Chain A
Amino acid sequence: MASRAIVQQQQARGEAVVGGGKQQKKNGVADGRNRKALGDIGNLANIRSAVEVKPNRPITRSFGAQLLANAQAAAAAGNNKKQACANVAGPPAVANGGVAVAKRVAPKPGPKKVTVTVKPKPEEVIDIEASPDKKEVLKDKKNEGDANSKKKSQHTLTSVLTARSKAACGITNKPKEQIIDIDASDVDNELAAVEYIDDIYKFYKLVENESHPHDYIDSQPEINERMRAILVDWLIDVHTKFELSLETLYLTINIIDRFLAVKTVPRRELQLVGISAMLMASKYEEIWPPEVNDFVCLSDRAYTHEQILAMEKTILNKLEWTLTVPTPFVFLVRFIKAAVPDQELENMAHFMSELGMMNYATLMYCPSMVAASAVFAARCTLNKAPLWNETLKLHTGYSQEQLMDCARLLVGFHSTLGNGKLRVVYRKYSDPQKGAVAVLPPAKLLPEGSASQHS
């Protein structure tokens, strides 16, 4: 009741209450946008840095176990009823079992002490003190009622004590990294589509395997991996000459691979498939797509206007007109953003991704993994510390360990690139405009054993 009264008082005074409160104004205009807060991306300090447990005797292993047992017994006595997290400061809520539960409080000036009684014995009183310099930063969910807000993570006494006993045993020895809200700067930019970004990427992840081509090279009697690489190398050159968008390039390769996975293509028609795929991808993505005659000229008149159009129809029918597909590019732009990059890292990630696109071996990995591995390989190449972090792990959905194989592959392509005949990607990314990232020495990737330390 007390906490409810405080909420009402605060609302009466017009103070912001998490999950509700007054509508904020931007430049004097009511914010009608009412953006959904990104529940899984926050800058919440973790429990160990936010609260400090001070028992009145040193935490030995046995004492830690005893505290844990006491807390569990108390929780059981309370019929496992969990106290909902409160958004405002107030006296400690008492659960059925007579155990006061530490509440999540909005930051107030100065440290606030909350005494939590585990058992009615004086030696087992634990102070949980909010550290003033490491207060929790609660995200303001504009105009969103408590009913709509996601359930906050609860820090029960058990979890606090477990964390402390683990710390005492040396199981955890470093504070958890903060997760950066990568969309915070775009809240006022409608072009960033912040309200939908989470939904979009959830949807991409959900459907990425539906449109991902399977291993097909063995079913193509006249085509091998080398021929595919030559085709992609040439298409990247064509793409650069036409000044097309990167979406178009990635969609082109996706169309080619999906088509080759369902149709046997003679060697002499492989370039025709590539041209027609780029024509289709351009129509889908570009405002001013190149015309068929442009492709006829570019192919040195190897194929006629009619052949290109016939192949376009064949591909569309075989792929059942499905071109709305997530390619590595759509994931790459998001993952690069999560890496909070400088221009060099951005260029390097794109370079790695295009190396992956050229090589058939990367087809065994799903688009999001190729994109994440490109960012990871780029960070390794540029010796970024840390190589992988919690923000990247959250947005990509992959740990460093999971990316190791694919990243090794990309770094391997980089190390052999200078010697090979297919040098379009190398030339493209040797340009000073692209930061000349291709000429940088390839990464010395970590051995497999050390991966888990960082993930």
Chain B
Amino acid sequence: MLTLREKYYDFDQISSKVFKCRRDDQFFTMKIVSILNEENQANNGVPYWIIREISILKELDHINIVRLIDVMTDGPDLFLVFEYLDNEFQADFLKNPKMFMYPQMKKEFLYQILNTVAYLHARKILLRDLRPENILVNVRTQVLKIALFGAARTFEAPLEAYSSSVGCLSYRSPEVLFQFGCEKYSTPNDVWAVGCIFGEMLLHRPLFSGPSDVELLDEIFTLLGTPTEETWPGVTSICGTCALMGPPQQPKDLAKEFPMLNPDGLDLLSKMLCLCPNYRISAEDAVKHPYFKGV
């Protein structure tokens, strides 16, 4: 078996743990992951999130997912070799000023995100940590790539209990925020995150940004109204305590909050940000929404 140096050469450091390298006149991005780190003091071997990330990435073949080419081990380090994305691909895509030059571009990128999420869900993969920082875009070619699958995991139907301490707080769905400890959640959690990203694309700021679970829920209910048994059957039993719900609030008119959106766009946004996960649109159906006509 070839060693790392025999297989790859011309290493060029991009950041502390990321290198550009070459093999047979082809460029790759190499990410170094240390098995022994402060989180793994007991040294339980390869961390669970690396096992998940690699085995999931190995199975995926989609234009909008950063492709894992190779995995190599050397002592306590793992070397993950990904497809090379040139400088035109910029991470944290919503910080890219060119993103907002053309309204059609937002629609194109939203479509690509939803298409990718639908692809993952059809392969029993929950993304769980979808946020702008994990999305790279090439504005010139209008290609988007989702990276970093540290929080992804496969699911079986019916879904078992999974850790609820996942994902960036701003993009967490109400069903996850309501649940403390290990609870059940499913594919609608990822759709909620896409809805938050959609809102952020339009407003140029995070849709919800509360610093804690309770404050974030309050922000969500301020915009979308407090859920009731009618709009979210079983919500009172889920939240356990009415203190989480706060005083009842009426939903705001999304047309006033998002004046830049046409009726189709408002319909899609409202369906993605539906409080009840049962009624929330699936990624598969969202891709077919009339809002994307002509994309």
Binding site for B on A (CB under 8 A): 26-36, 148, 186, 188-193, 195-197, 199-200, 203, 245, 247, 279-280, 283-284, 287, 289, 291-293, 305, 308-309, 312-313, 316-317, 320-324, 329-330, 333-334
- Residue B17 is within 8 A (CB to CB) of chain A in the complex: no
- Contact of A190 with B280 at beta-carbon distance under 8 Å, contacts A283-B51, A284-B48, A287-B162 already known: yes
Q: Is the CB of B51 within 8 A of A199?
A: no
Chain A to chain B contacts (Cβ below 8 Å), 19 pairs: A28-B231, A29-B276, A32-B280, A33-B279, A148-B288, A188-B233, A190-B188, A190-B278, A199-B122, A200-B123, A245-B160, A291-B44, A292-B45, A308-B45, A321-B51, A321-B54, A321-B55, A324-B59, A329-B156
CA distance A320 to B58 in the complex (A): 9
B108-128 CB mask vs A (1 if < 8 Å, else 0) is 000000000000011110000
In the assembled complex, which residues on chain A have CB atoms less than 8 Å from the CB atom of B233? 27, 188
In the assembled complex, which residues on chain B have CB atoms less than 8 Å from the CB atom of A321? 51, 54-55, 58, 71
In the assembled complex, which residues on chain B have CB atoms less than 8 Å from the CB atom of A292? 42-45
In the assembled complex, which residues on chain B have CB atoms less than 8 Å from the CB atom of A32? 270-272, 274, 279-281
Q: Is the CB of A29 within 8 A of B155?
A: no
In the assembled complex, which residues on chain B have CB atoms less than 8 Å from the CB atom of A312? 45-46
Q: Is the CB of A27 within 8 A of B284?
A: no
Q: Count residues on chain B whose CB falls below 8 Å from chain A CBs.
A: 53
B32-47 CB mask vs A (1 if < 8 Å, else 0) is 0000000000111111
- Contact of A316 with B156 at beta-carbon distance under 8 Å, contacts A191-B184, A280-B51, A321-B58 already known: no
| Given pairs A29-B230, A33-B285, 14 additional interface contacts (CB within 8 A) | A33-B278, A33-B281, A34-B271, A35-B282, A190-B277, A193-B159, A195-B285, A196-B282, A199-B122, A283-B51, A312-B46, A322-B58, A324-B58, A334-B157
Closest 9 CB pairs of A and B: A32-B271, A283-B48, A199-B122, A323-B55, A34-B285, A32-B281, A190-B277, A321-B54, A195-B282
Tell me, rounded to whole Å, the shortest Cβ–Cβ distance linking B229 to chain A.
Answer: 8
Tell me, rounded to whole Å, the shortest Cβ–Cβ distance linking B158 to chain A.
Answer: 5
Binding site for A on B (CB under 8 A): 42-48, 51-52, 54-56, 58-59, 71, 73, 121-124, 154-163, 182, 184-188, 230-231, 233, 270-272, 274, 276-282, 284-285, 288
In the assembled complex, which residues on chain B have CB atoms less than 8 Å from the CB atom of A333? 156-158
Among residues of B, the one whose C-beta sits closest to the C-beta of A245 is B160
Tell me, rounded to whole Å, the shortest Cβ–Cβ distance linking A303 to chain B.
Answer: 13
CA distance A291 to B40 in the complex (A): 11
In the assembled complex, which residues on chain A have CB atoms less than 8 Å from the CB atom of B121? 193, 195-196
Q: Is the CB of B182 within 8 A of A287?
A: yes
Among residues of B, the one whose C-beta sits closest to the C-beta of A329 is B156
Among residues of A, the one whose C-beta sits closest to the C-beta of B54 is A321
Tell me, rounded to whole Å, the shortest Cβ–Cβ distance linking A118 to chain B.
Answer: 42
Tell me, rounded to whole Å, the shortest Cβ–Cβ distance linking A26 to chain B.
Answer: 6
Tell me, rounded to whole Å, the shortest Cβ–Cβ distance linking B273 to chain A.
Answer: 10
In the assembled complex, which residues on chain B have CB atoms less than 8 Å from the CB atom of A334? 157
Tell me, rounded to whole Å, the shortest Cβ–Cβ distance linking B248 to chain A.
Answer: 16
- Contact of A284 with B55 at beta-carbon distance under 8 Å, contacts A190-B186, A193-B121, A321-B71 already known: yes
Tell me, rounded to whole Å, the shortest Cβ–Cβ distance linking B40 to chain A.
Answer: 11
